[in-house]
Structure 1
Amino acid sequence: MIGTIEPLNPIAFEIGPISVYWYGILIGLGAFLGYLLANHEAKKRGFPEDMLADLLMFALPAAIIGARLYYVIFRWEDFAGDPSRIFAIWEGGLAIHGGLIGAVVTGLIFAKIKGFSFWKIADVAAPSILLGQAIGRWGNFMNQEVYGGEVSRSFLENMMLPNFIIDQMYINGAYHQPTFLYESIWNLLGVALLLYLRRVNLRRGELFITYAIWYSVGRFFIEGIRTDYLLIFGVLKTAQVVSIITVIGGIILIVYRRKKGLANKRYLDDDTPPKKSGKKKSHGNKKKK
């Protein structure tokens, strides 16, 4: 049986000489569904109808560039011999932390130029970012990356996984833990949590910070069992270091913003100016008695 296992084809379809990979399709699908979710909420929160589309036009390319640069920096030995492979993003190799840095920097600049509250935009986008990450991890699945240590087939079968996942986890002659799946499920749980916290009406900015903390906690533990990872100083797992910094920094930021009065507004507060009434005041002369 094992000798007949073939990995799923990472190429979805071909148009002449152009190959379209599942990796790109699934990342694009995650971004699209995330946009729909965020755009619906943005309208309810009083943003202009095209605001999010304008932001995405800049933030998505910045996120992809940031994600790729982050990965290449920590895996330079894989590209030093052939730097042209840096542009082959369809082969995989996009680091989420790098993508977040690119997107956040773009969001800060966009909000400053347009006169919007960055924290309000970030809160609206937080569940959508997690949704995009949850779907995007299945692109890693198609490329047979983001997996954990070796396990037996029975280990995977006892998890009640379908055969197509079990077979795809047969990599280099052994079965591996589907850490891509663990992270995808963790992210979907985070989406549900953030959607619930919208009703709680947290202080502005704290939905996004909660997203960063939630993702980082899950990523820290999942990274601990991954076998394909980036290293800092050749020793420490980069994602774990960044996760610890993010959790501690997020908690400090929440406390600091509250103490300094920088988080007095809440998520559901309406910033839109009141609409002017169409009625005109009467200035007619009154008859004297």
Structure 2
Amino acid sequence: MHPILFRIGNITIYSYGFMMVVGILSAILLTIYRAKKQGISEDVVMDIAIYGVIAGIIGAKLLFLIAEAPYIFKNPAVLKDMITGGFVVYGALIGGVLAAYIYCRIKKVDFLKMFDIAAPSIAIAQGFGRIGCLFAGCCYGRETTSPFGIVFKNSPFAPNGVKLIPTQIISSVGDFLIGFILLYFSTKTNKKGQVAGLYMILYSVGRFFVEFLRNDPRGNVLFLSTSQFICIFVFIIGIYVFNIDKLRRS
């Protein structure tokens, strides 16, 4: 597709990185807007965003290296290239959420309330990120004869000249849909944890099934991909978080 968005002199702007920045900025602005309505300052949101992004990048890289560990052990020379390329979205989510939790504990901010506020923004940011995947050609799908298949012509990742299932588009539309569902649901509930829990449930279910359509190299746990394996735990935790208000009162 268009892995390189444009060049300015010797500076190259890559589509994937650009869309990631768009997603992060959109998430920050939306979260600030919603947080102010809940009496949470912009400084808190910015602090969590900065620490979350840093921890997310580290988490995404670590999970990628863990998932690819068997291949790295067999081919140690590839580690040099993998240090600069390759990320796993779930690693970014885990790292970002963990950083936010630690920050909230230190600053005595209600973590679940903050998670409820940020959850729709996270989903929407992921939607933009998947558009970046489409431009780059990563996270590609299986070969297909469907008229809805897409053909990459200049991708450094996906096989070029072959019709593939548009998993990036499916994921992006799903993420945006989850974001809008959460925004609507947040106006219908005042129970702590339900928006965050619903995000975890919807995302884990959607990601689990999209994984069956993908054909890019990924780590595995038995017969499941690494992400599918994580989805099971995220789904269970999501159900718990969704009902945490009820459980605390019982």
Root-mean-square deviation over aligned CA pairs: 2.1
Match of 1:248 in 2: 236
Secondary structure of residue in 2 paired with 1:156 = coil
Return the offset for 1:15: 4.6
Secondary structure of residue in 1 paired with 2:7 = strand
Whichever residue aligns with residue 171 of structure 1, its letter is P
Structure number with the higher helix fraction is 2
1:220 pairs with 2:208: yes
Tell me the distance in 1 between the aligned counterparts of 2:133 and 2:76.
23
- Closer/same/farther in 2, CA of residues 98 and 171 from structure 1, 3 Å limit: same
1:86 pairs with 2:82: yes
Tell me the distance in 2 between the aligned counterparts of 1:81 and 1:257.
50
Structure 2 stretches of 5 or more lacking a match? none
Match of 1:123 in 2: 116
Matches within 5 A, 1:194-205: 194-205=182-193
Tell me the distance in 1 between the aligned counterparts of 2:190 and 2:41.
23
Secondary structure of residue in 1 paired with 2:13 = strand
Identity of aligned residues (%): 33
Tell me the distance in 1 between the aligned counterparts of 2:48 and 2:188.
27
Return the offset for 1:71: 1.1
Whichever residue aligns with residue 144 of structure 1, its letter is G
- Conserved in 2, the CA contact under 8 Å of 1:67 and 1:97? yes
Tell me the distance in 1 between the aligned counterparts of 2:187 and 2:42.
22
Whichever residue aligns with residue 226 of structure 2, its letter is T
- From the CA coordinates, give the structure whose radius of gyration is larger: 1
- Conserved in 1, the CA contact under 8 Å of 2:60 and 2:92? yes
Matches within 5 A, 1:1-289: 8-76=1-69, 77=71, 80-89=76-85, 93-152=86-145, 155-156=147-148, 166-168=150-152, 171-233=159-221, 235-255=223-243, 257-261=245-249
TM-score by length of 1: 0.77
Tell me the distance in 1 between the aligned counterparts of 2:16 and 2:247.
44
Tell me the distance in 1 between the aligned counterparts of 2:151 and 2:161.
11
Return the offset for 1:256: 5.1
Return the offset for 1:260: 2.6
- Conserved in 2, the CA contact under 8 Å of 1:65 and 1:102? yes
Tell me the distance in 1 between the aligned counterparts of 2:84 and 2:29.
28
Provide, for residues 102-161 of structure 1, a one-character-per-residue CA deviation record: whole Å limited to 9, x for no partner: 011101111011111000111110000000000000111112122221112x6227xxxx
Return the offset for 1:86: 3.1
Tell me the distance in 2 between the aligned counterparts of 1:252 and 1:33.
28
Provide, for residues 8-56 of structure 1, a one-character-per-residue CA deviation record: whole Å limited to 9, x for no partner: 3412233554432111111111000111111100111101232111211
